[in-house]
C-alpha cells in the first residue's frame, strides 16, 4: 500500500531546508529553542509536524528528549539523514490524531503548521491530541500568524507576502470558510515553478476556545519567541496553554 505524504512529497522535501533557510538561522532558531527548553523543563518534548528537524535537532542538542509526529515519509527521511537525529523518536501519521508513546511535559507546533489542518474539526482534534499527550501541568505551544484581513482592501481576496527576483508569494483568502491558499512562484534553473498550499487561518480567541474544549487554559501569549508583548498590531503570536 502506498503512503500519502500529503503536500510534502519527495519534491517538496528535497528543497524544504533551502526554502526555510531564512527561518533556520541561529538568530531565529536560538530564541525558539531557549523558550521551548525552558518550558519543557526536565521532561520530554513532542513536536507535531516535526518535518526535517529545524527545531527538534537543536532542541535535542540542548538535552531535551524530543519525539516527533510527521505525516510525510519524505520529510522524515530528510530528518533521519541528519546527524543527531538518531536520538529523536519518530512516529509517522497525522498529528491531529496520531498518538506517540509516553507522556510529555511539552507539545509544540510551530511555523503556522496548525493551518495545515484545513478544517475546524481537525484543529480541535489537534488540541485534544496535544492534551492527551501532556502530563499534569504540561504545556502546548503554537506559533502562528494573525490573519491579515485588516490589510485587505474591501472586495480584495489576494495579498502578496513575498516579492523578490526568484520568489513571488500570494495569499488568497476565502473569507466565508476561513480558508487560505498560499501561492508560490519560484524561479528554478531559469524557469518559474508554481505550487499552492491550502490552509485554514484561525484567530487567537478561537484557539483559546479549542484549548478550553481540550481541558487547557491560556498561560501566555506573546508576539514572538523573545516574549514581545502581543498587541493589536502584532502579525504573529506564540501562545502557551497549560493542562491543569
Query: What is the distance between the alpha carbons of residues 116 and 105, in angstroms, rounded to a whole number?
Result: 24
pLDDT of residue 69: 98
Query: What is the distance between the alpha carbons of residues 183 and 130, in angstroms, rounded to a whole number?
Result: 29
Which residue ranges make up each domain of the chain? Answer: 10-147+202-242, 149-196
Coil/strand/helix, residue 190? coil
pLDDT of residue 110: 97
CATH of 10-147+202-242, one of 3.40.50.150, 3.40.50.450, 3.90.79.10, 3.40.50.2000: 3.40.50.150
The answer to whether 159 touches 148, Cβ cutoff 8 Å, is: yes
pLDDT of residue 4: 73
**DSSP codes of every residue in 117-139:** S-SHHHHHHHHHHHHHHEEEEEE
Q: What is the pLDDT of residues 126-164, one digit of tens each?
A: 999 999 999 999 999 999 999 989 888 888 999 998 999
Query: What is the distance between the alpha carbons of residues 128 and 98, in angstroms, rounded to a whole number?
Result: 11
With a CB cutoff of 8 Å and minimum separation 6, the contacts of 94 are 71
Residue 21 — pLDDT band, cuts 50, 70, 90? Answer: confident
Query: What is the distance between the alpha carbons of residues 159 and 138, in angstroms, rounded to a whole number?
Result: 37
Q: Which of 124, 136, 102 is nearest to 243 (CA)?
A: 136
The answer to whether 86 touches 109, Cβ cutoff 8 Å, is: no
Query: What is the distance between the alpha carbons of residues 33 and 63, in angstroms, rounded to a whole number?
Result: 11
Angle (deg, nearest 10), helices 204-213 and 120-133: 50
pLDDT at position 180 over 80: yes
- pTM across the whole model: 0.93
- Looking at the chain, the whole-number percentage of residues with pLDDT higher than 70 is 98
Sheet strand arrangement including 236-242: 89-92, 66-70, 45-48, 104-109, 134-145, 236-242, 217-222
Burial label for 109, CB within 10 Å (0-12, 13-18, 19+), is buried
Amino acid at each position: 500500500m502506498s503512503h500519502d505524504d500529503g503536500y510534502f512529497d519527495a519534491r517538496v522535501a528535497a528543497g524544504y531546508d533551502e526554502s526555510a533557510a531564512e527561518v533556520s538561522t541561529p538568530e531565529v532558531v536560538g530564541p525558539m529553542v531557549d523558550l521551548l527548553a525552558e518550558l519543557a523543563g526536565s521532561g520530554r518534548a513532542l513536536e507535531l509536524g516535526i518535518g526535517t528537524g529545524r527545531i527538534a535537532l537543536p532542541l535535542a542538542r540542548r538535552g531535551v528528549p524530543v519525539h516527533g509526529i510527521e505525516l510525510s515519509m519524505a520529510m522524515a527521511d530528510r530528518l533521519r539523514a541528519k546527524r543527531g537525529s538518531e536520538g529523536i523518536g519518530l512516529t509517522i501519521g497525522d498529528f491531529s490524531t496520531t498518538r506517540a508513546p509516553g507522556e510529555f511535559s511539552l507539545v509544540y507546533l510551530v511555523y503556522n503548521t496548525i493551518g495545515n489542518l484545513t478544517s475546524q474539526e481537525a484543529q480541535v482534534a489537534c488540541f485534544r491530541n496535544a492534551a492527551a499527550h501532556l502530563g499534569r501541568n504540561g504545556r502546548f505551544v503554537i506559533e502562528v500568524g494573525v490573519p491579515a484581513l485588516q490589510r485587505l482592501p474591501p472586495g480584495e481576496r489576494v495579498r502578496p507576502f513575498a516579492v523578490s527576483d526568484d520568489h513571488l508569494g500570494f495569499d488568497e483568502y476565502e473569507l466565508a470558510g476561513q480558508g487560505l491558499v498560499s501561492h508560490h512562484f519560484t524561479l528554478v534553473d531559469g524557469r518559474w515553478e508554481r505550487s499552492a498550499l491550502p490552509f485554514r487561518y484561525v484567530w487567537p480567541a478561537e484557539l483559546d476556545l479549542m484549548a478550553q474544549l481540550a481541558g487547557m487554559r491560556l498561560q501566555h501569549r506573546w508576539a514572538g519567541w523573545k516574549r514581545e508583548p502581543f498587541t493589536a498590531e502584532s502579525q504573529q503570536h506564540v501562545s502557551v496553554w497549560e493542562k491543569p
